[in-house]
């Protein structure tokens, strides 16, 4: 989605070392695209995206593509989302310093690291991942990117049920597709009264749904991998 500007012209994998998120010109081209297409709206989110190098969160052979607007496989049939979707979700969530945020679907750890930067040392990020190997990879990636793990708790488990011990949350972000979302969903129950939740909802092609102040709004058509679990889809 939305990556026309970035897809134009030949893709040039730089193949450089760990953490090299592509050439500086590619990085700037991506930020220009994100701003011009209004996926990126605020300085806060842009600063976080600049602080956390996406190159640390993609497999070695894909590092040259870190600053292209594309999802990238990270193993175990999972992906790191495209930068436009990441920026759009973070803008919609309006994460502030000191907040307690639940992420469902840690994956590579990229969103988790961005959230950690946005909530700062006085905040907390709880991230639930069902694949133990990905939870371990995420911890490694976050440390390699030079982001402190002090305000991050990564839990292996079924995040479709949320994570009750740290509830209620100021913000909840779900990064795999939910089959449905309504006011009775356990994730909604774990949100503070004035909290916000963003999640892809549907099968195959989804709507990104923003929930807040009792209202559900469809804000973007998206494609995510399915959330597998009690309140998710069955194993495929
Ligand atoms: N946020 C991730 C990142 O920054 O790389 C991308 C997440 S990837 C699109 C979706 C993740 O959700 C996968 O790692 C997958 O294993 C995880 N997942 C799927 N069902 C889950 C569940 N019930 N609980 C926790 N994680 C789940």
Q: Can you give the residue ranges of every domain in the chain?
A: 12-78, 93-222
E strands present in the chain = 72-75, 78-80, 100-104, 124-129, 152-156, 169-174, 191-201, 206-212, 215-222
Counting from 1 in the atom list of ligand 1, the atom nearest the Cα of 110 is: 4
Residue-level pLDDT, tens digit, the chain, 236 residues? 333 332 222 222 333 345 555 678 889 999 999 999 999 999 999 999 999 999 999 999 999 899 999 999 999 999 999 999 999 999 999 999 999 999 999 999 999 999 999 999 999 999 999 999 999 999 999 999 999 999 999 999 999 999 999 999 999 999 999 999 999 999 999 999 999 999 999 998 999 999 999 999 999 999 999 999 999 998 76
Could you tell me the CATH superfamily of domain 93-222?
Answer: Vaccinia Virus protein VP39 (3.40.50.150)
- Of 60, 45, 176, give the one whose Cα is nearest residue 107: 176
How many whole angstroms from 58 Cα to the centroid of ligand 1?
A: 15
Question: What pLDDT score does 235 carry?
Answer: 75
Q: Is the CB of 108 under 6 A from ligand 1?
A: yes
Q: Is the CB of 195 under 6 A from ligand 1?
A: no
pTM of structure: 0.92
Counting from 1 in the atom list of ligand 1, the atom nearest the Cα of 224 is: 9
């Amino acid at each position: 989605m939305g990556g026309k500007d970035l897809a134009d012209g030949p893709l040039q994998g730089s193949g450089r070392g760990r953490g090299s998120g592509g050439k500086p010109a590619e990085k700037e081209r991506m930020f220009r695209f994100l701003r011009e297409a209004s996926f990126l709206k605020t300085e806060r989110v842009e600063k976080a995206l600049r602080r956390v190098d996406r190159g640390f969160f993609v497999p070695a052979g894909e590092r040259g593509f870190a600053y292209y607007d594309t999802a990238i496989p990270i193993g175990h049939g999972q992906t790191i989302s495209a930068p436009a979707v990441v920026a759009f979700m973070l803008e919609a969530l309006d994460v502030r310093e000191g907040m307690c945020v639940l992420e469902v679907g840690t994956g590579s750890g990229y969103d988790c690291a961005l959230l950690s930067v946005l909530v700062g040392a006085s905040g907390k990020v709880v991230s639930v991942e069902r694949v133990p190997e990905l939870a371990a990879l995420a911890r490694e990636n976050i440390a390699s990117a030079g982001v402190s793990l002090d305000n991050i708790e990564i839990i292996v488990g079924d995040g479709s049920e949320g994570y009750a011990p740290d509830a209620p949350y100021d913000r909840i972000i779900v990064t795999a597709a939910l089959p449905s979302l309504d006011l009775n969903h356990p994730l909604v129950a774990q949100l503070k009264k004035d909290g916000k939740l963003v999640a892809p909802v549907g099968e195959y092609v989804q709507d990104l749904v923003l929930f807040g102040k009792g209202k559900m709004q469809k804000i973007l058509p998206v494609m995510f991998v399915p959330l597998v679990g009690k309140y998710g889809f069955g194993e495929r």
